[in-house]
Structure formats: structure tokens, C-alpha cells
Structure 1
Amino acid sequence: MLLLAVDTATPAVTAALHDGASVVAESSRTDARRHGELLLPAVDRVLAAAGVKLDAVTGIVVGVGPGPYTGLRVGLVTAATFGSVLGVPVYGLCTLDGLAHASGIEGPFVVATDARRKEVYWARYDGARTRVTEPAVDRPAEIAEQVAGFPAVGAGALLYPGTFPDARAPEHVSAGSLAALAAEKLARGDEDGFLPVTPLYLRRPDAQVPKNYKVVTPQ
């Protein structure tokens, strides 16, 4: 097994290789505006670090979000293209699950990432591998009662200490944690635990068609 994992649902542009036992190479860079520019070089770096070619990969893992529209689709399109070219399966995972897995927290906690517009993408967990709510997008003040008393991980938690007073690392997801989670699922035959390789946006994109725009008719 050699899994190539990528995620662009947060400001972290991240790629990793996992051999079924451990992460053998990983590259992450935080830049919310350059996902398309940075992802393929990150993949090249992890392949070079591991000393393998792309055709050695047996499966692709990709974070499907939730995340902002533009950044998220970069990772998904890249993963789907690699899967098609190589003829290997593509496994979708919730990006929040990758953060939860990396946290190593055993008791109940919350994952919250920055959704912009003064909102967070979030979900509750009962341990690092068990999500107990569906991913959602809300203003922090609106979910204060639901998350009160729980530790929280992710950039969204760090941005809003009033709602998440016990905020912890990691701030952003790593492809290594997504790959490790996928490897665990595959090892126990849990292929139903993967998500469709489609973007989990949770809301409409920021770009909108202008209303009441001027219509120009031919003379």
C-alpha cells in the first residue's frame, strides 16, 4: 500500500505519502491564496523525499472539506485527476476528521476551522476517531451552548476564544493525518467509511451573479 493524501480545504496546502504503517513523507505550507500554485510542487516534494515515482501510488486520499469554494476544489480536482490517470481508487474524508485524528484527544471535543464571514466549520467528536455530529457552518456565538465545556482544535477555535476557551493545536489539517486515518479504515476493511469525492461546501460560494445588472440588447 502506498497512499498519496492531499488537502486544500484550509489555508494549509498539504500532501503526504503513507505506506500503510506510517507516514513516509509530508509537505505542508500555509497560504490561503495559492492552493493551485503550491499543491503539485508539494506532491513532487513528497515523492522525491520517499524516492518513488507517482505510478507507485496505490490509492489517493483527499480531504473533501468543509472549506471555502476555490481552495477546496483544487485538491479535489487534483485527486480525481491522479486517480483517473493512475487507475487507482480515490478516498474522500472529512477534513475535520483529519484534524480530530491528529489531535489524539480521547474524550469529547470539538473541531472548528475558519469559514470566513465570521463563521466556523465545526463538528463534535467523542474521541479522535468518532464524529458524533454532521459538519456544520455557524457563527461562534450561535453554537456557544453546544460546545461549552469541550476542548477544541483548529484555526476556528483559536480565532474565537470567547466561544472556545480551551483551544488547542493542531491549527490546520495535515495530509499525514488524513492518510493515517484512511490507512486505518482500509486495514480493517471499512471502505464504507469514506465519503464521495465531491466538495463539502455547506454554503454557497462567495462569488455571486450580480442582481439587477444592466442588460444590453443589440441594436
Structure 2
Amino acid sequence: MLTLALDTATHDLVVGVGDQQSRRVDAQRVIRTRSHNELLVPTVNDLLAEVGRSYGELDAVVAGVGPGPFTGLRVGMATASAFGQALGVPVYGVCTHDAIAAEAGDTDGKRVLVVTDARRREVYWSLYRDGARVDGPHVSAASAIEVEGDAVDLLVVPEALREAVPVQAGEVRDLAPGVRGLLAACDSSVAPGPLTPLYLRRPDAVPPKPRPRSAALPDIKL
């Protein structure tokens, strides 16, 4: 099943094409950028040309749904939905942290902590045991992350955030939600539901509070 996989929930723009059932990755691009909106569709076009495929040959789309900042998530999810509607193919949403954990490979018997940047001096984090998510995703200050025993077998975290995470780890890696992980985290055996973003907090913009009524205005009863 030829699948387009994409994720815009982190600083990495991830786009790839592969087979969802076998989890074969035919081509992948991982670009460290904040310009997801400008680069996403051109990157998809380039990848399809690279593997000699067309949009009409796609059988499904897989998109990361976060956790992530509002703007980044909106770009990827809106694009995935548009592709699905235009092509008449299913669109599956997967937790970005699940994709990152799957990208780590065989983690049977291990505890894995996935941490990503939430900006505003906060992080998103999820805990996995034997490949399954057992806690999270959460949003908090890095110093507020709590795991049993204060240690894990594998910590997946951006290099710039490592020193801020108060958790000991047997191994530390910096991984993007790669295409193999996105395909592995997708359960295509069930019909896809609506894409639901994992923002985990309110957007920066909030409606203004109503101004108090001026005492100079007359009290008119109708």
C-alpha cells in the first residue's frame, strides 16, 4: 500500500513515501526548518518524482498529529487532509511521539522517554515501556518531568534540550519522527477517524476580555 507519510510537529519537516504494510521506506527527507509551510508540498513533489510515482498512485496518507505547536501542526494536518480529499484516499493520524519511539527500533524490555520542544521554555514528553506508550503525552517545564526511578533505558531528546531534562538514561539519541516510525505507528487495519491535533495547551492568541462598563454611560432600561 503506497503511502505518503509526513510530520510537521517538530523543528524537523519529515516527508516520505513507502509501503505501510511492509514498512518499507522508498524515499525520505528530514529537513531541520521552521518553514514547514513553504517547503512541505515542494518536498512531496520532489520525493514522488524521485521514486517515479504520481499522486494518483498513492493509497493512503499518514500524518503526525503532535504534540506540537499550533502553527506547525496545522500545516501538516491541513495538507494531509487536502491530499486525502483530492485523491479519495484514507488519511491516518498518529501521535508524533509514537512515531519517534518506533523510530528507535526494537525497544522490548526497555523504558523509553521521548521529549520534544514545546517552546515557551516547556517540553512535550511521553514514556514508553516495551514499545507501548504508558504515560503522556504531557506538556510541562523540562524540570518537571517525572518518571519512576528517575531513569530510563533510552532518552530521545533534541540535543539542545538534553541538559534541561533531569532524567538519567543508559542511552541518549536525537531522533526525528521518521517515515519508518510513522508507518509503524499507524494502524491501517481500522478505518481512520478525523484528524485531531494534540496541542496540549491553548494557543498564544486569546480573545480580549470585555471592557468594564463606563460609569459615565447612562443606565437605560428597555
When normalised by structure 1's length, the TM-score is 0.85
1:120 aligns with 123
Question: Larger C-alpha radius of gyration, 1 or 2?
Answer: 2
CA contact (8 A) 1:9 1:64 kept: yes
CA distance in 1, matches of 2:200, 2:36: 20
Q: CA deviation at 1:179?
A: 2.1
CA distance in 2, matches of 1:63, 1:81: 15
CA contact (8 A) 1:17 1:176 kept: no
Q: CA deviation at 1:145?
A: 4.9
Q: CA deviation at 1:113?
A: 0.5
Q: CA deviation at 1:158?
A: 3.8
CA distance in 1, matches of 2:141, 2:199: 16
Number of corresponding residues: 207
Q: CA deviation at 1:175?
A: 3.0
**Deviations 1:108-144 (Å, cap 9, x if unpaired)?**
121110111221111110133x111231111122224
Alignment of 1:66-215 (within 5 A): 66-104=67-105, 105-106=107-108, 107-128=110-131, 130-146=132-148, 148-150=150-152, 151-155=154-158, 158-166=161-169, 168-182=172-186, 185-186=187-188, 189=189, 191=190, 196-211=194-209
Give the counterpart letter for 2:80 in structure 1: A
1:30 aligns with 32
CA distance in 2, matches of 1:195, 1:142: 33
CA contact (8 A) 1:113 1:156 kept: no
Structure 2 unaligned blocks of 5 or more: 212-222
CA contact (8 A) 2:159 2:174 kept: no
When normalised by structure 2's length, the TM-score is 0.84
CA contact (8 A) 2:4 2:15 kept: yes
CA contact (8 A) 2:104 2:175 kept: no
Structure with the higher helix share, 1 or 2: 1
Give the counterpart letter for 2:134 in structure 1: V
CA distance in 1, matches of 2:168, 2:6: 30
CA contact (8 A) 2:111 2:129 kept: yes
CA distance in 1, matches of 2:172, 2:102: 13
Give the counterpart letter for 2:9 in structure 1: A
Give the counterpart letter for 2:173 in structure 1: A
CA distance in 2, matches of 1:14, 1:25: 11
Residue aligned with 2:135, SS: coil
Give the counterpart letter for 1:12 in structure 2: D
Deviates more, 1:53-62 or 1:143-152: 143-152
CA distance in 2, matches of 1:156, 1:204: 26
Q: CA deviation at 1:212?
A: 6.9
Q: 4+ runs of 1 displaced by more than 6 Å?
A: none
CA distance in 2, matches of 1:4, 1:146: 37
Residue aligned with 1:96, SS: helix
CA distance in 2, matches of 1:115, 1:122: 9
Percent of matched pairs sharing the same residue: 40
CA contact (8 A) 2:25 2:179 kept: no
